[in-house]
Amino acid sequence: MYKIEEEERLATVEETWLFPEQVSIKPFLKWAGGKTQLLNELTKYIPNNFNKYIEPFIGGGAFYFHLNPRKAVIADLNYELVLTYRTIKQSVEEVINLLKTYKNEERFYYDMRAKNPENLSNIERTARFLYLNKTCFNGLYRVNKKGQFNVPYGKGSGNFFNSKVLRDSSEFLQNTEIEFADYSDTLKKHAEKGDFIFLDPPYYPVGKYGDFKRYTKEFFYHEDQLALKEEFDRLVNLGCHVILTNSNHPVILDLYKDYEIKTIETRRMINSDAKKRKGIDVIVIGG
Ligand SMILES: C[S@@+](CC[C@H](N)C(=O)[O-])C[C@H]1O[C@@H](n2cnc3c(N)ncnc32)[C@H](O)[C@@H]1O
């Protein structure tokens, strides 16, 4: 019995490799700056052939899960997020079993939020992160200066996890290296000629609410955008296929003026002010 199940499982993995576009899955997290709306556009720039896929600002990973690459490296500077990917890769059943015991109730939420993640096991920490992500107000990840998650209860849609999505994600992640690292370290270590690289950094701030996207304790400053452009050039010269997304800010348009740039109108889901929910994203295509 076990043997047949195992063979079926391997057959599914084979198919995954042969027909990546047919087994795309949705991300298991809601993440500020999620790329779900841009997927159709981004798909146009997938090269016919590439060695491995690298996404060093992974966030919710919408494009990674859409692409389903055969071999990949994903990374982020948000430790809780990286730990979540690693634990789903290694111990998804334990995470699901724990989530089954959780309740979508205000009291339960605040008790869970009050726990210090550093005192929890990796399984508990991951389940807490997934739970807070789906039940907090607007699915917004925000921490205070001490790095503590401080978003109020938001109820969400009721179902705060989907076992199938988590299991599928775990399977996708089996051929993926997951790094807790600054994007430049990830790229220096892993990028090689022929790789396909998607760069989705914190966007250049536009307007009054521009500093809204505080994903980690650290910000991504003007100087960081300039350094990222240098890295973009290096990767293109190395022979990588690179695409980058950012906001439609004059600084970004000027920085990347020597490359092909596409502009796309998107809705900003995570913003309490409805008028600020529309924006323009740019996609820069290099190599
Ligand atoms: C725009 S979000 C990525 C969105 C994601 N691609 C998606 O589809 O949901 C940017 C991510 O970059 C991470 N980040 C910020 N600064 C970083 C750095 N210097 N190196 C690596 N990751 C960083 C943040 O933690 C955040 O998860």
**Final residue in a domain of this structure, among 175, 207, 242:** 175
Do residues 73 and 83 both lie within one domain? no
Confidence bin at 19 (pLDDT 50/70/90): very low
CA of 65 to the centre of ligand 1 (A): 15
Tokens standing for residue 205: 């701030």
Q: Is pLDDT above 70 for 217?
A: no
Does residue 160 contact residue 132 with C-beta atoms inside 8 Å?
A: no
Between 146 and 281, whose confidence is greater?
281
What pLDDT is stored for residue 267 in this prediction? 72
62 lines ligand 1 (CB under 6 A): yes
Q: Is pLDDT above 70 for 11?
A: no
What is the mean predicted confidence (pLDDT) over 186-191?
Answer: 98
CA of 107 to the centre of ligand 1 (A): 31
What b/e sequence results for 56-90 when a residue is b if at least 16 CB atoms lie within 10 Å of its CB, and e otherwise?
bbbbbbbbbbbbbbeebbbbbbbebbbbbbbbbbb
Would you call 208 helix, strand, or coil by DSSP? coil
Do residues 197 and 276 both lie within one domain? yes
**Final residue in a domain of this structure, among 141, 175, 209:** 175
Between 152 and 269, whose confidence is greater?
152
Report yes or no on 30 lying in a domain. Answer: yes
What is the mean predicted confidence (pLDDT) over 56-78?
Answer: 94
Q: Which residue's CA is the nearest one to ligand 1's atom 5?
A: 59
Q: Is pLDDT above 60 for 243?
A: yes
Between 158 and 216, whose confidence is greater?
158
Do residues 85 and 146 both lie within one domain? yes
What pLDDT is stored for residue 269 in this prediction? 55
Structural domain boundaries, residue 94: 78-175
Please list, in sequence order, all residues whose beta carbon lies within 8 angstroms of the beta carbon of residue 229, skipping any fewer than 6 positions away: 255, 256
28 lines ligand 1 (CB under 6 A): no
Does residue 54 contact residue 190 with C-beta atoms inside 8 Å?
A: yes
What pLDDT is stored for residue 215 in this prediction? 45
Would you call 72 helix, strand, or coil by DSSP? strand
Report yes or no on 9 lying in a domain. Answer: no
Between 191 and 275, whose confidence is greater?
191
271: nearest Cα among 220, 222, 223, 203? 203
The strand pairing partners of 136, in sequence order, are 153
CATH of the domain at 147: 1.10.1020.10
What pLDDT is stored for residue 60 in this prediction? 93
Do residues 286 and 212 both lie within one domain? yes
Report yes or no on 59 lying in a domain. Answer: yes
Tokens standing for residue 46: 């997938």
CATH of the domain at 254: 3.40.50.150
Do residues 206 and 159 both lie within one domain? no
Do residues 275 and 160 both lie within one domain? no
Select, from the ranges 62-66, 149-153, 154-158, 196-200, the one with the highest average predicted confidence (pLDDT): 196-200
Do residues 110 and 148 both lie within one domain? yes
CA of 57 to the centre of ligand 1 (A): 4
The strand pairing partners of 54, in sequence order, are 73, 197
Domain count, the chain: 2
What is the mean predicted confidence (pLDDT) over 44-62?
Answer: 95
Do residues 116 and 67 both lie within one domain? no
Summary mean pLDDT of the chain: 86
Do residues 69 and 139 both lie within one domain? no
What pLDDT is stored for residue 242 in this prediction? 98
